[in-house]
Chain A
């Protein structure tokens, strides 16, 4: 695999002067490859000549497992793909099966889904911000981010009992009605986040070292993004206002008034700014959703046994990391005939080599951080 992108080893008669290229193996055990990513770097001094990703250390065959589970049984498995955004994963899966079934989801359930998905976007971005800053050497923001993320997880815990792998939604709607102080907690969290985002800005945005470490690093233009299929904050930071919540609204996102933050240069700093703004926009959506939360049933007309008619469905949503798609083929039985996931992390990681070439070793770490990958989702 390494031989495909990296140049062949130097010839037999190479002198000492020719051999200043070094192949450095980074990971799978490395402090900042965000899990078990392995990157083979070809270096000239500290300059990166090329990279090659080796993945699969966390492969669990999730798509194959789906073929051996009933539709409901498989739902908890999707939480374990992008485990920092489990709610979004569950939302995409449930929507795909609901499309196969052709059921109508009650508006209250949709509204709660939006609230939880946006809360999850905040939690995911907070984790990204903390670890990204840690990679660049700022060791304090990670603790502040985890402090706020804790508040989000508390809401999840109160709602469904789980904090990380929530399994918050069921096919057809919701399992649980919201708890008594749900609305109040959500609004309190929005207040908190709007204040804390400013605190993160004061820690990092104006810091000259931070700006120098991120500006012009790992540039990916809008054209490159389209070529590689890169979506999410990376695409938006390159200037393309592509957000599935706006361009192909689902779950009633068309009812909410929010902006799609974009930037121009597509470097690491822009992606940082875009994600920071997205947290603020998520708060805006949550506020509106909580204020307009309708009363009514929380589950559509779905039978106890889920048996979709033969057919196929592809549903994609705007997960925190980009376009998360589920393609499901049903043969009319209790189990999916085939289930395929389009994970944003995996596709975005494909652009790593493009972003890294010509940069320095320290930038590779910053770039891995800025792509915001979760290896559970890359390897599935």
Chain B
């Protein structure tokens, strides 16, 4: 029944699209919660603890608050562009989800130029930032958007070179194709070409951080200098859209990185059959069981009955998931998604870790790093990998 339904053309893509558009805002909310919790952990504090047990309902409260806020358009702003900018940013960021290979069977579209599509969408997304800052008719916003423009232009070049190196290594522009080629070669993209692919991997992560305006490259919204940079004049739901776009961009760039360099939905050592049971069955089951155990331990600490029940339910859900991973039929369906999300989470954690650790670059230093270091190194990496690949593969 279900399979028949999915075989009808356009049903699976449409269902997935709807799911992404509806569910991603919630996912973004929980990435924010994760960010706040991880930062809190780095900064010897607890983070959100009031809304729900350990703050698990905080994203919902935040979303509700943002939707109920008054919608302000500054009187001197260019009204239509001001309206358009966050829509443009969010639209492009969510569009890029279309080609993300969530697992071997879970994706909206497997286009033969998937990687190009993502890069194009993230470039247009930058336009939203620029327009948003420019249309607000505020000096802080203007400076933020000018910085955004310069930064995007500078860092898309090394990002592009790193991507090109990975494409060269894989021999295809299709996201699924890149992962399949890594499966065939039996090694993740990052370690291919005798480890030389580590150069573009590192560059991709650095340039990707800059591309998504995350610390230490968060100059367009540098809080301590430009108040809030390009979105200084935005409030309420429009601001939330920019926020959503930022987190969507992080997920997209991280997904691209995971796909190109870390094997996408492949498990670690995909060609070592002996690891199938411990890695594909044992690891996820143990992970979720551990999470369930952690939640159960938190139950008695909750002050009210409602929180206790919620914690117990969450623990139960985790336990259910852990159990599901042991069933071979279910495991086969979801294991790709699990590995993709697991690697994605590791990347997002890296982004948050940066933010808790590094001071911010200055505008001229950012340009220095981009043009004098990243671009030459990425070009050298491309040539080096090309030569090695030619010699090794013939």
* Known contacts A136-B359, A138-B359; is-contact A361 B43 (Cβ 8 Å): no
**Within the assembled complex, what's the spacing in Å between the Cα atoms of A147 and B42?**
13
* Known contacts A135-B224, A361-B225; is-contact A140 B356 (Cβ 8 Å): yes
**Within the assembled complex, what's the spacing in Å between the Cα atoms of A34 and B181?**
55
Q: Is B139 part of the contact surface with A, judged by Cβ < 8 Å?
A: yes
> Per-position contact with B for A121-143: 1 when CB-CB < 8 Å, else 0?
00000000000011111111001
| Cβ-neighbour of A209 out of B216, B224, B227, B364 (below 8 A) | B216
**Within the assembled complex, what's the spacing in Å between the Cα atoms of A144 and B41?**
12
Q: Is B5 part of the contact surface with A, judged by Cβ < 8 Å?
A: no
**Within the assembled complex, what's the spacing in Å between the Cα atoms of A360 and B225?**
10
List residues of chain A with CB within 8 A of the CB of B140. 24
Task: Report which residue of B39, B139, B218, B219 has the largest number of chain A beta carbons within 10 angstroms of its beta carbon.
Answer: B139
- Nearest chain B CB to A151's CB is how many angstroms away? 13
- Nearest chain B CB to A133's CB is how many angstroms away? 7
List residues of chain A with CB within 8 A of the CB of B45. 143
> In the complex, are the beta carbons of B224 and A134 less than 8 A apart?
yes
**Within the assembled complex, what's the spacing in Å between the Cα atoms of A31 and B370?**
28
Q: Is B365 part of the contact surface with A, judged by Cβ < 8 Å?
A: yes
> In the complex, are the beta carbons of B224 and A360 less than 8 A apart?
no
Closest to A134 in B: B224
Closest to B355 in A: A139
| Cβ-neighbour of A139 out of B43, B143, B226 (below 8 A) | B43
Q: Is B358 part of the contact surface with A, judged by Cβ < 8 Å?
A: yes
| Cβ-neighbour of A212 out of B139, B215, B365 (below 8 A) | B365
Number of B residues, CB within 8 Å of A: 29
List residues of chain A with CB within 8 A of the CB of B358. 137-138, 207, 209
Q: Is B222 part of the contact surface with A, judged by Cβ < 8 Å?
A: yes
List residues of chain B with CB within 8 A of the CB of A46. 143, 363-364
> In the complex, are the beta carbons of A144 and B44 less than 8 A apart?
yes
- What interface size band does chain A fall in? 20 to 34
Task: Report which residue of A24, A360, A362 has the largest number of chain B beta carbons within 10 angstroms of its beta carbon.
Answer: A362
**Within the assembled complex, what's the spacing in Å between the Cα atoms of A30 and B359?**
19
**Within the assembled complex, what's the spacing in Å between the Cα atoms of A360 and B355?**
22
> In the complex, are the beta carbons of B359 and A133 less than 8 A apart?
yes
| Cβ-neighbour of A31 out of B223, B361, B364 (below 8 A) | B223
Q: Is A327 part of the contact surface with B, judged by Cβ < 8 Å?
A: no
Q: Which of A9-42 contact B (CB under 8 A)?
A: 22, 24-25, 30-32
Q: Is B360 part of the contact surface with A, judged by Cβ < 8 Å?
A: yes
* Known contacts A143-B45, A210-B359; is-contact A31 B365 (Cβ 8 Å): no
**Within the assembled complex, what's the spacing in Å between the Cα atoms of A137 and B223?**
8
Q: Is B112 part of the contact surface with A, judged by Cβ < 8 Å?
A: no
Q: Is B357 part of the contact surface with A, judged by Cβ < 8 Å?
A: yes
Closest to B40 in A: A143
Q: Is A313 part of the contact surface with B, judged by Cβ < 8 Å?
A: no
* Known contacts A137-B216, A360-B362; is-contact A365 B43 (Cβ 8 Å): no
List residues of chain A with CB within 8 A of the CB of B364. 46, 360
- Nearest chain A CB to B263's CB is how many angstroms away? 31
Q: Is A213 part of the contact surface with B, judged by Cβ < 8 Å?
A: yes
List residues of chain B with CB within 8 A of the CB of A212. 361-362, 365
> In the complex, are the beta carbons of A137 and B363 less than 8 A apart?
no
List residues of chain B with CB within 8 A of the CB of A133. 359
List residues of chain A with CB within 8 A of the CB of B39. 139-140
- Nearest chain B CB to A129's CB is how many angstroms away? 13
> In the complex, are the beta carbons of A143 and B139 less than 8 A apart?
no
List residues of chain A with CB within 8 A of the CB of B226. 361
**Within the assembled complex, what's the spacing in Å between the Cα atoms of A364 and B363?**
13
Q: Which of B170-212 contact A (CB under 8 A)?
A: none
Q: Is A318 part of the contact surface with B, judged by Cβ < 8 Å?
A: no
> Per-position contact with A for B344-372: 1 when CB-CB < 8 Å, else 0?
00000000000111111111110000000
- Nearest chain B CB to A134's CB is how many angstroms away? 6
> In the complex, are the beta carbons of A213 and B356 less than 8 A apart?
no
- Nearest chain A CB to B369's CB is how many angstroms away? 9
**Within the assembled complex, what's the spacing in Å between the Cα atoms of A366 and B363?**
13
Closest to B368 in A: A212
> In the complex, are the beta carbons of B227 and A30 less than 8 A apart?
yes
> In the complex, are the beta carbons of B360 and A137 less than 8 A apart?
yes
> In the complex, are the beta carbons of A143 and B362 less than 8 A apart?
no
**Within the assembled complex, what's the spacing in Å between the Cα atoms of A212 and B140?**
24
> In the complex, are the beta carbons of A147 and B44 less than 8 A apart?
yes
Task: Report which residue of B44, B224, B227, B360 has the largest number of chain A beta carbons within 10 angstroms of its beta carbon.
Answer: B224
**Within the assembled complex, what's the spacing in Å between the Cα atoms of A139 and B45?**
13
**Within the assembled complex, what's the spacing in Å between the Cα atoms of A143 and B47?**
12
> In the complex, are the beta carbons of B43 and A362 less than 8 A apart?
no
List residues of chain A with CB within 8 A of the CB of B357. 138, 140
List residues of chain A with CB within 8 A of the CB of B355. 139
Q: Is A363 part of the contact surface with B, judged by Cβ < 8 Å?
A: yes
List residues of chain B with CB within 8 A of the CB of A134. 224
Closest to A23 in B: B139
List residues of chain B with CB within 8 A of the CB of A135. 224
Closest to A30 in B: B227
- Nearest chain B CB to A241's CB is how many angstroms away? 29
**Within the assembled complex, what's the spacing in Å between the Cα atoms of A207 and B357?**
10
List residues of chain A with CB within 8 A of the CB of B225. 32, 361-362, 364-365
> Per-position contact with A for B294-305: 1 when CB-CB < 8 Å, else 0?
000000000000
> In the complex, are the beta carbons of B143 and A143 less than 8 A apart?
no
> In the complex, are the beta carbons of B44 and A137 less than 8 A apart?
no
Q: What are 28 inter-chain pairs, A to B, with CB distance below 8 A?
A: A22-B139, A24-B139, A24-B143, A25-B139, A31-B223, A32-B224, A46-B364, A135-B224, A136-B359, A136-B360, A139-B215, A139-B355, A140-B39, A140-B42, A143-B43, A144-B43, A144-B44, A147-B44, A207-B359, A209-B358, A210-B359, A213-B360, A213-B361, A360-B363, A361-B143, A361-B225, A362-B225, A362-B360
Given contacts A361-B363, A362-B363, 10 further A-B contacts (CB under 8 A): A25-B139, A31-B224, A46-B363, A136-B360, A140-B357, A209-B216, A209-B361, A213-B360, A360-B362, A362-B222
Q: Which 4 A-B pairs have the closest CB atoms?
A: A137-B360, A143-B43, A138-B359, A32-B224
